[in-house]
Amino acid sequence: LDLARHVPGRLICNYGTADPLIPPGERSKVRAALVACDPGGQRLRDVELVGADHGFMCETRQSYNAEAAAVGWELLVKELRA
């Protein structure tokens, strides 16, 4: 998290609220670090997808969540086109 200020490009962190590997406290720390570096969220931001588990965007995983994956992919493609 200390390195967030050194990220030269755009960064979007997509994670699910049901992901046991990234608990709420850790998500809060990530958000705080990103906001501290980019208060307006123009370059660095995070998105929590409610109910999505770890690996929610991978179609071959049991945790795949089609609705959350669609949102995640839309956000990532938008960032790549920016």
Interval 3-21: pLDDT, tens: 888 999 999 999 999 999 9
Counting Cβ atoms within 10 Å, is residue 50 exposed (0-12), middle (13-18) or buried (19+)?
exposed
Position 39 pLDDT exceeds 90: yes
Q: Mean pLDDT, to the nearest integer, of 41-61?
A: 95
Give the Cα separation of 75 and 36 in Å (integer): 21
